[in-house]
Structure 1
Amino acid sequence: MDAFLSSLIASVILAAIPLILAGLGELITEKAGVLNLGVEGMMLLGAVATFMVSFESGNLWLGLLVGVLVGAVAASVFAFLVVRLLTNQVATGLALTILGMGLSALLGVKYVGQPLAGFEVVAIPLLSDMPVVGALFSQSLPAYLSIVLAVVLSLLLYRSKLGLVVRSVGESPSVAHSIGYDVVTVRYGATIVGGAMSGLAGAFTVLVQFKAWQEGITGGVGWIAVALVVFATWRPSRLFLGALLFGLMRSLGFAAQAASQSIQDWLVNQADWVKSVVLVLTNTQLLNALPYIATIVVLCWISRDWRKIKLNAPASLSQPFLP
């Protein structure tokens, strides 16, 4: 049982980190008043760029850096369109996702099935030897760095003058402009940071989580990250908890497959109705669909009270600003 729980915890962490990175990047972007629905596209572009550079050069850190830069570049193009040219943010974000899906599939077609070593686990002495929770301290270097980065950005957003400026621009760009802040520059910066975080999430997916490339490898994580921001009511702490919850749901299928033999051995002496219930609950297709089912349920539950959403959402979200 300890081995199963350790495996499940490790899998949850791996599944939650891309959600945390992409979700926090989108949260920062939205706090500045920009709605970017292109998270999935930026993740895929970052993922394919990371894999191509890592595979061709053999340098994983270089591939990781390129993935982050590609995400930032894609976000800068989006920012130019919606912040400078004042295009519709929803339509532009959807176009970015469609572009990212198609372009990543085209660029990565020759890399499908190619092996990639990826980052290895770096266990922290003593802490990694603890039963069950030791899995928390047996992660790769990008995992540790991602967690530290997420915490630092969260603190900057709510505990620094820079974060206050970003949030003020999202609440009332006209007031922020009247007291001397460059609203356009702030929105540009927040959007690019969000894109870089999405690129990092895509890079993490191919270098740590799957260590391979295939079309649509992110599996809708970008869309879940966008929903997670609403689920968290634009608060980083709630976003972290939500990412762990969704990570658990994404990991149940892998954990059930890994423990299939143990589950079958346990079912031998159980009643027929218990066997039927367990077999239904451990169905691979059902477990793989859980994150998306949960996303729909959570959004429906939150949407029952629009006043609460308006109270927590940035007041100028998705609204263009012309100085």
Structure 2
Amino acid sequence: MSEDLHARLKAYEGRAATTAGAGKDLVNEPMIRHWCEAMGDTNPAYTGPDAIAPPTMLQAWTMGGLSGHTGRSAAQDELFGLLDGAGFTSVVATDCEQEYLRPLRPGDRITFDAVIESVSERKTTKLGTGYFVTTRMDVRADGERAGTHRFRILKYAPAARQKYAPTGRAQLEPQAAKPEPHSKGRRPRPVINRDNAGFWEGVAGHRLLIQRCEGCGALRFPWLPGCNACGSAEWDTVEAGGQGTVYSYVVMHHPPFPAFDPPYAVGLIELAEGVRMVGDVVGVPYDKVRIGMPVQLEFLRVDEELELPVFRGLPGGAG
């Protein structure tokens, strides 16, 4: 059965996902500015009369928004429908790859085609068993090839997870099952890799470490393999003092998740050192959090294995 399904899935390789798609907007300075502000990217190449767009914005110019795009084919929907019908109903984005062929500049008109490039054999992961589907998008600027964007997802059937009965014997229950009453569950684990491992080592020692470029001295957060300002790959760290203010915030109401207790406030915190990071705002009611409110760094143990940096609203700062 699985071999027959895989053969049917492989038949979609090479079929068009989007044909003659067109960006809804020309490459433009406001979108570049918003992107750079959100990313904290101050590279001078992205401003001024000779500005280019950050290369990683490649896919942003192709997005269709809530109303979607014309030119979308039925092949991708058919492929996902086939997987859904076989029980692989969950989906998670796994990674993307981008290749840049020429800079994008304000005024460029973006067009693109997308193809279902590959469907993997059936794979078993920690999330469950399923198939990796890779879509390749070829992007053009004023008719000239500008870059390639590959996007890979996993369509999977959620794995069973272990729980322990009063006898101590391991039982299996579906991952999607509702938690037992009063069970808080566990927070999702942070993704730790070679680029950010030092940050999490610092958190384990109750230290909030910020990268500092050894080339130009610029501080940066989140941790990156190279400097946005000068491109240097050499860096060291400085320890944040822990003082900051709420630069922006959202109040999370849904979706419900066993490890969280909505509503709660999540802030974009501007540290005294000048960088910004995201963290829970604690110690004040969620509806009393305000932009500009002073906060102080704390480390919150959320379970037996994980501590996270959070920010406590200071007295008199809730407005």
TM-score range relative to shorter protein: under 0.3
Name which one, 1 or 2, has greater alpha-carbon Rg.
2
With a CA cutoff of 8 Å and minimum separation of 6, indicate the structure with the bigger relative contact order: 1
TM-score of the superposition, structure 2-length normalised?
0.25
Q: Which structure carries more helix by proportion?
A: 1
